[in-house]
Each structure stands twice: as C-alpha cells, then as structure tokens.
Structure 1
Amino acid sequence: MKFRFDHNNINVFNLEKSLKFYKEALGLIEVKRHVQADGEFILVYLGDGDTQHSLELTWLRDRTETYNLGENEFHVAFMVDDFEAAYQHHKKMGCICYENKEMGIYFINDPDSYWVEIIPGR
C-alpha cells in the first residue's frame, strides 16, 4: 500500500477575493471546479502548473462570518525559484505577515488570514 499527497483544503469566506489573491501572490491557476447542484458549496482546486498537488478552496453559501483560525498554527508552504523577486512582489502587495531572516523564510497572509510560507528553491 502506498499513499501520496493529492491536495490540501482551506475554507474561504470570499471565493473571488481568494482566487484573485492566490493568482496574484503565487501564480496558482484553477485546475478543477465543483459546484454543488443546489449551490450549497463550491470547491475550486488550484494548481501550480508543475506538480500534481493542489490547494482546494471550499466556499460555503450559508457562511455569514469569517473563519476563526484559532492560533493559526498551520500553514501551506511554497518553494520559489527567485526568492528575492517573490519577496519584493509580496512586499508590494502588502501581504507579508512574518519574516524569519535567520531561517531565510517569510510568510504571507491570504484574505482569510491563513499563513502561507515562502521558502527559497533548493
């Protein structure tokens, strides 16, 4: 028996705002969408164009308030080939929420306050 990663999921309050953010900040593109027949929820899978792994954004129609992320001690990480250019891009967007210069990484905040780690290519 062998397991492999397929996707990660986060719930989002404003789907269009999140789609715009992930495209602008990370270059992610929609690779699959499922709209529940009754409109109760929409699942949008975003890909990086290189790997098979995807980020699933779940939007719930009846959600009336933003999500409580608690202490927000979880994150998704992205490796980037041009770390300095990515840093400048995210700085211009105003979405950098934490930097660890000693480790050579930083985090950006998405519209729902999920943290996304940016790490330099190896």
Structure 2
Amino acid sequence: MQFKFTHNNINVADLERSLAFYKEALGFEKVKEKTAEDGSFKIVWIGDGVTDYLLELTWLKDHPQPYELGENEIHQGIVVDDYEAAHALHEKMGCICFENTSMGLYFIEDPDGYWVEIVPTRQ
C-alpha cells in the first residue's frame, strides 16, 4: 500500500480575491473547479504548473464571516528559484508578514490570513 499527497484545502471568504492573490503572488493557476448545483459552495483547485500537488480553495455561500484561524500555526511551504525577485514582488504587494533572515526565509499572508512560507531553492 502506498499513499501520495495530492492537495491541501483552505476555506476562503472571497474566492475571486484569493484566486487573484495566488496568481499574482505565486503564479498559481486554476486547474479545475466544482460548483454545487444549489450554489452552496464552489471549489477551485490551483496548481504551480510544475508538480501534481494542488491547493484546494473552498468558498461556502453560508459562511460570510472571516474564518477563525486560531493561532495560525499551519502554513503552506513554497520553494522559489529566484528568492530575491520573489521577495521584491511580495514586498511590493505588501503581503510579507514575517521574515527570518537568519534562516533565509519569509512568510506571506493571503487575503484570509493563511501564511505561506517562501524559501529559496537550496543546492
């Protein structure tokens, strides 16, 4: 028996805003989507175009309030080949929420408060 990672899910308050953020900040594109027949939810899977791994964004019609993230001790980890350019982009976007220069990484925050760790490709 073998298990394989396929995706992670996060719930978002404004799907279009989240899609725009992930496209601008990370270049992630829509891979597939599903909308409930009754319109109660919409799910969009986005990917990096390199790996099979997907981030599932779920929007729920009856959940208009911001999501409670607790201590927000969960995050996605992203490797980037041009760390300096990525940092400049994220600094321009104003979405860097934490930097650890001694470890050579930083975090960006998406529109719903989820953190994404950005690390350089290490040789």
Q: Is TM more than 0.5 here?
A: yes
Aligned to 1:98: 98
Q: CA deviation at 1:15?
A: 0.4
Post-superposition offset of 1:11: 0.2
Q: Deviations over 1:4-60 (max 9, x none)?
A: 100000000000100000000000000000001111100000000000000000000
Q: TM-score, normalised by structure 2?
A: 0.98
Q: Unmatched 5+ residue regions in structure 1?
A: none
Q: CA deviation at 1:117?
A: 0.3
SS for the counterpart of 1:24 is: helix
2: distance between equivalents of 1:46 and 1:80? 17
Query: Who is 1:25 aligned against?
Result: 25
The answer for unaligned runs of 5 or more in structure 2 is none
**1:87 paired residue number:** 87
| TM-score (ref. length: structure 1) | 0.99
- For the residues of structure 2 that align with 1:37 and 1:61, how far apart are their CA atoms? 12
Equivalent residue letter for 2:72: N
- The size of the alignment, in residue pairs, is 122
Matched position secondary structure for 1:88: helix
The residue aligned with 1:41 is: 41
The amino acid of 1:121's aligned partner reads T
Q: CA offset at residue 64 of structure 1? A: 1.9
Q: Distance in 2 between matches of 1:60 and 1:103?
A: 37
RMSD after superposition: 0.4
Measured against aligned partners, the alpha-carbon deviations of 1:54-78 in whole angstroms (never above 9, x if no partner) come to 0000000111200010100000010
Structure 1 residue ranges, 4+ long, deviating more than 6 angstroms after superposition: none
The residue that corresponds to 1:59 in the other structure is 59
Write the distance in 1 (CA, Å) between the matches of 2:107 and 2:59: 23
Q: Report the secondary structure of 2:17's partner residue.
A: helix
